[in-house]
Chains A and B, each alone.
Chain A
Amino acid sequence: MPKLPFTGRARRDIAFCVLTLPLILPGPVVGFAVTIGLAQAVGPPWVAGGNPSWLAMLTAVAVAVLTAALMVATGAARALAAATRRAAGRLLGEHLPPPPPRHARLGDGPGWRAMAYLMLKLPVGLAECYAVGIFWVAGLVNLTYPFWWLSFRNHSPGAQLNPVPVITPFNWSGTGGHFRVTTFPGTFAAFGAGVGMLLAAPWVTRAVVAADRWLVRGLLGPGRTALRLQDLEQTRALAVDDAAARLRRLERDLHDGAQIRLATLAMNLGMARKKLGDEGTVPDLAAARELVGAAHGNAKDALVELRELARGIHPPVLDNGLTDALASLAATSAIPAELAVTVPVRPTPAIETIAYFCAAELLANAAKHSQATTIKILITERAGLLALRITDDGRGGADPSRGSGLSGLAQRVAVVDGRLDIASPPGGPTRITVELPLRAGGR
C-alpha cells in the first residue's frame, strides 16, 4: 500500500542520496577526464582527427589506474568508504562492522573493494540523482505551476505566450517533449503529473537506494573471508575456554568426590588395621568391624562416583551410535520421552558426542524448568545436516539470556558451525532445534 511521500524513511533515503552525492565523481574518473582535457588542449600527437588519440586514451587510463592505486595506498578509499558506511548506518539502518585494519598498502583487499564501490557509485549515484532530482524536486515544482501561472502569467486575454515545458520522468530535460503548458487549465495537468511523480518518488528512491545498499553491504563490510575469520576466532576462543572449564570441572569433581572417598577409605582401613593389632588376638574387634564396614561403603561410593564421572566424560553406549545412546538417554529421562531417529548416514564421533550432550542437557533442562508431561526427541538428516529437535508440552518461556545453559549449548554447537534454534513462547510448547553438520570442519 502506497504511503504518503514524506515518511521518515523517505526523508532518510533522500538524505543518503544527497550526502553521498559527492562520491559519484571518484578520483580515477576525474583523473581520466582531466588527462583527456589536457590532451585536447595540447593538440597533436594527443589529438587525432579532433578526437583524443590512442596515446591520450592510454595515458588517461594509466592516470586513472594510478589514481585508484594512490587512493588505496593512502587510505583515502578506506576513509571515503568509512564515511559512506557511517551514512548507511545512520540513515539506512545498514550497520556494518568495519573491515579489519590495513596490513599492506597496495595489497589491501578492503581498500580495493572500497575503490570498486566508489567506481560503481558513479552509475548508481546518477540513478540516485535522477530519483531525487526528477521525482522529488521536479515533482514538487510541477505542483507549483497553477500558482505561479496565476501570479506571473496573468496577462490580458489574447496575449501570445510561449508554452512552458513540464519536466517529467520521461522528458527530464523538459525541452524536446510534447508536454507543454500553454493555458491556465493546462497547469492542472502539470499539477497532476507532479502529484503522480511525488507518489512514485519514495518507491523509485527506495529502489535505487536498495541497489546502493546492496553495493555497500557487499563491498564496504568486512568481507566474507574476514567475517568467517572473525567467526572462527570467536568460536575457537569459546572452544578453548570450554575445554579448559571442562577440565577444571573434572578435576574438581575428582578432588571433591572419588579422591576424598578413597582417602577416607584408606584412613578407615588404616584405623581398622590398627584395631586388629599386629598378631594374635584382636584388641578391639567391634571397632575393627565397624571401620572395615565404613571402608567398604567408601569403596562402593567411590566406584559409583567414578562410574558417573566416566560416563559424563564419554558415555560408552555412544560408541554403538547416536540411536542407542539417545534411546538409553530417553529411557532414563525424568519426563517420559519419545524418540524417533531417521539418520541414514552416521555422523562423525565428535558430532555424535555433541548431539548427545545437547540432548542430555535439553532433557535435563526440560525436567528442571518446563513442567512438561511428554517430550519428543526427533533426529533427522537433511542436506548434510543433522537436526536434533526436542519438543516438550511444558510451559515454555525458555530464554537463553537467563543462563539456563542454553547459551552454553549454542556456543558449543557454534564451534562446529552448528546452530541452536529456540522456539519457546510463554505458555509453551518449547521446541528446540539443534542443527549440526555431519562432520566437524567439513565446510
Chain B
Amino acid sequence: MVKSKAIKKQSESVAAAAFVGPAFVLLIAFLLVPMIYTVYFSVFRYQIMRPNDITFINIENYVKLFKDPDFWHAFRNTLYFTIVVVPVQSALALALALLVASKTRGVAFFRTMYFAPQLTSMVVISILWTILYNSNPSTGLINSLLTSLGMESINFLSNPRTAMNSIIFMSAWQGAGYQMMIFIAGLQAIPSSHYEAASVDGANSFQKLIYITLPGLKSTIKYVIMITMIQAMKLFTQPYVMTKGGPQNATKTLVYYIYTEGFQEGNFGYACSAAAVFFVIVVTMSLVMKRLTTTKE
C-alpha cells in the first residue's frame, strides 16, 4: 500500500515535470539567456556585421545613450502613448463590455464584431489604417468624409502634431476588444443577487455601476491596466508600418529606437544598452503602477 502510494506520488512528480519542463527550457532559452546577453553586450562596441570584433568599452554606451536626444524623444513618445492609451483603451473596453454583457438577443454579434480586430494581424490593421488616414481625400476614407462635410483634409500621419494621436486612436480601437473580453469575464463573476438587492433598494443603473460593478471589477481593472501598460510600452508595429517613427520623430518609440539602432544602423552593443535601460523602465513603471493600484484592505 505504502509502496503503491510512493509510486503514484513519483509518477505525479514525473508528470508535473513533463508539463513544466518544456516551458522551463523555453523560458531559459528565449527569455533569460537573451536578457543576460543583452546586458553583457551593452558594455561592448559591437557592430552587428562584426560579431568577432567586439571591444569592451565599459559604460560608454550608456553615457552616449543618456546624452542622445533621440533616445529621450523616444522615451517621451513612449510615455505619452502609454499615459494616454492605457486609460482610453481600458475605459473603452469597459464601456463595450458593459454594452455587450447583457443577455439581450443579438448582442453576441456585436461582441464578435468588437473582438474581431484582435483576430487580425496588427500589421494588416496598420496598413489598412494608413490608407484610411491618407491625406488625399480620394484615397483616405476619413479625409473623404471630412471634405464631404466641408472641412479641410488633415495630414493625420504626416503631421507631427497629429501622428501619435492617430496611432493612439487606432491602437485603442484595435486593442479594446481583448480587454473587453476580460471585463466580460469579470462582470460574469459578480453575483446577480447584488444587482437584485440594489434594485429592491431603488438603485438606478448609474448607482449600480458605481457601487456594485466597479468595485466588483477592481481586480480585473488592475489586471487590465497592468497588461495594457506593458503592451503600450512595447509599441513598435504601428510606427514601423505607418510612420517609420516620423514625422520629425513624433512616433519614434523606445522599441523602434532600439530596432533602428541595432538592426538598421548596426550599432548592436549600443542597442543592447538601450534595451537594458528599456527593461528597467518597464519594470519600474510596472512597480509604480502596482503601487498606485494597490489599496490597503
Do A and B originate from a single complex? Answer: no
Task: Spell out A's residues near B (CB within 8 Å).
Answer: none
Task: Spell out B's residues near A (CB within 8 Å).
Answer: none
